[in-house]
Structures are given as structure tokens and as C-alpha cells.
């Protein structure tokens, strides 16, 4: 694919990146998520590393940029699975996909497929998506750089209490808080303590609803 064509393709994807993230990153509740594993794939040179994985339904896969301009684009996937097509470069450094359907998944980098930049993962297990948990939780989260706290702002009111979890990219919980009151427009300041700078995942749960967002802590 030529440079101009790839640039146009990249521009088109960036315009729809928010919609794509909502469709893929913030999936519904996964039964037994506490047992799930986070798998990291680096995107560098002309390779996905590792290029082959064995995963379980409910696991999370994160493609993380190291160098170059690439995409991770689904090719052949199981029936019922969500397809994906996401740029991975210096400006959009990570893409998160939660595996919801068992089977074999193949994917590739659009501009470098002819150079062998492809990957595969095989998901074992049974479909574990709770179909009743189709709605996410509206919230925003950002860092207070003065005292290194996290500011959580709700975008709705919930009758059930909310559980908060902060995880690193290995899936390890580094901070959590239970039974948070969630009222529309309210702000809550949380103090996770001293953490290494980097990318973390914020999870909120309320009943059978769940939402995950990414945050970069400095």
C-alpha cells in the first residue's frame, strides 16, 4: 500500500477512533473476569511479538506500540466475534481487545502484510458474555498531578454501589475501592498511593454492568 493511500486510510480511521474504541474496548461484563489474563503484544519493526498466542475466552489482549506506523486488523475470526481495525503508532499507542468468542483469530498490519506482519491467537473455552450486561457505566477519570490522586466523575446515577479497580497492564490489581456511591455529576477523589508511571486500566462494576477505561499516570 502506498504512503498516500495509507495516510488517507489512517485519517479515516482516526475520525472514527472514538466509535471503534467504544465498540471494542468497552465490552460487556465477562463471567469469571477475575480469572482472566492480560496478554501483551508489542508492535515494532515489522512484527507482532508474540505473533501466536493461546488464550481463554474472557482474556484481554493489548497491542502496544514500540516503533513504526502499523495497524492491527482482524482477518479471519470466529462467527459472532467483534472484528477490529485499529492504528497502532506513536499517537494511538495501545489497543485493547477482550476475547468473547472461542476459536481461531488471524490479524495483520495493513501496510506491512506483504512483509509477513501477521498474527494469530486461539481462544479456548465457552462464550462467557452475559448478554444482559450490554450497557456500560458512564464516567470519566483523570489524574490530579498535584497530589497524585485520581479524580472520578460520574456521568449518571446508579442505584447499586460501584466497585472501583485500578489494574496494571499485566492485569494485576494495584488499587481498589468498594461500594462507591455514584450520583450523576458527582466527583470522587481516590488516593492509590505511589505508582510507577505508565498505562493503567480503570474498571468500574455495578451489578451486572461494567466499564473499562485506560489512563496514563505520570
Determine what percent of the chain is predicted with pLDDT higher than 70: 78
Choose among 136, 131, 81: nearest CA to 105: 81
pLDDT category of residue 130 using cuts at 50, 70 and 90: very low
Q: Contact 65/89 with Cβ under 8 angstroms?
A: yes
Section 183-194 average pLDDT: 90
If one compares 98 and 117, the residue with the highest pLDDT of the two is: 117
- What pTM was computed for the model? 0.50
**Range(s) within the chain of domains with CATH label 2.60.40.420:** 3-124
Is the pLDDT assigned to residue 135 strictly greater than 70? Answer: no
**Residues whose CB falls within 8 Å of the CB of residue 21, separated by 6 or more in sequence, listed in order:** none
Numbered ranges of CATH 2.60.40.3080 in the chain: 139-217
- Topology of the domain comprising 3-124: Immunoglobulin-like (2.60.40)
**139-217 CATH choice from 2.60.40.3080, 2.60.40.1180, 3.30.365.10, 2.40.10.220:** 2.60.40.3080
Amino acid at each position: 500500500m502506498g504512503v498516500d493511500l495509507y495516510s488517507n486510510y489512517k485519517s479515516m480511521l482516526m475520525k472514527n477512533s472514538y466509535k471503534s474504541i467504544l465498540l471494542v474496548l468497552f465490552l460487556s461484563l465477562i463471567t469469571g473476569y477475575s480469572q482472566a489474563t492480560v496478554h501483551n503484544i508489542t508492535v515494532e519493526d515489522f512484527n507482532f511479538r508474540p505473533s501466536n498466542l493461546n488464550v481463554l475466552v474472557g482474556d484481554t489482549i493489548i497491542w502496544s506500540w514500540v516503533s513504526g506506523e502499523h495497524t492491527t486488523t482482524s482477518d479471519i475470526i470466529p462467527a459472532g466475534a467483534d472484528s477490529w481495525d485499529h492504528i497502532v503508532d506513536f499517537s494511538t499507542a495501545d489497543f485493547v481487545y477482550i476475547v468473547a468468542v472461542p476459536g481461531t483469530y488471524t490479524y495483520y498490519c495493513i501496510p506491512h502484510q506483504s512483509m509477513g506482519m501477521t498474527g494469530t491467537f486461539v481462544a479456548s473455552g465457552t462464550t462467557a458474555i452475559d448478554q444482559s450486561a450490554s450497557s456500560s457505566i458512564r464516567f470519566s477519570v483523570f489524574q490530579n498531578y498535584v497530589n497524585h490522586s485520581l479524580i472520578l466523575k460520574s456521568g449518571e446515577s446508579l442505584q447499586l454501589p460501584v466497585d472501583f479497580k485500578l489494574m496494571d497492564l499485566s492485569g494485576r490489581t494495584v488499587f481498589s475501592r468498594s461500594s462507591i456511591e455514584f450520583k450523576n455529576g458527582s466527583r470522587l477523589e481516590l488516593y492509590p498511593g505511589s505508582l510507577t508511571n505508565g498505562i493503567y486500566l480503570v474498571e468500574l462494576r455495578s451489578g451486572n454492568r461494567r466499564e473499562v477505561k485506560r489512563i496514563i499516570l505520570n
